[in-house]
Amino acid sequence: QLQLQESGPGLVKPSETLSLTCTVSGGSISSSSYYWGWIRQPPGKGLEWIGSIYYSGSTYYNPSLKSRVTISVDTSKNQFSLKLSSVTAADTAVYYCARLAGEWLVLWWGQGTMVTVSS
Partner 1 sequence: EIVLTQSPGTLSLSPGERATLSCRASQSVSSSYLAWYQQKPGQAPRLLIYGASSRATGIPDRFSGSGSGTDFTLTISRLEPEDFAVYYCQQYGSSPLFGGGTKVEIK
Residues binding partner 1 (CB under 8 A): 46-49, 62-63, 96, 101-107, 109-112
Nearest approach, Cβ of residue 86 and partner 1 (Å): 22
Nearest approach, Cβ of residue 106 and partner 1 (Å): 6
- In terms of Cα–Cα distance, which of 95, 96, 97 is closest to 115? 95
Residue closer to partner 1 (CB basis): 13 or 47:
47
Residue closer to partner 1 (CB basis): 36 or 96:
96
Nearest approach, Cβ of residue 33 and partner 1 (Å): 15
Residue closer to partner 1 (CB basis): 10 or 63:
63
Residue closer to partner 1 (CB basis): 16 or 103:
103
Distance CA 41, CA 45 (A): 6
Distance CA 54, CA 2 (A): 17
Using alpha carbons, list the distances in angstroms from residue 65 to 55, 76, 83.
Answer: 21, 28, 11
Nearest approach, Cβ of residue 23 and partner 1 (Å): 16
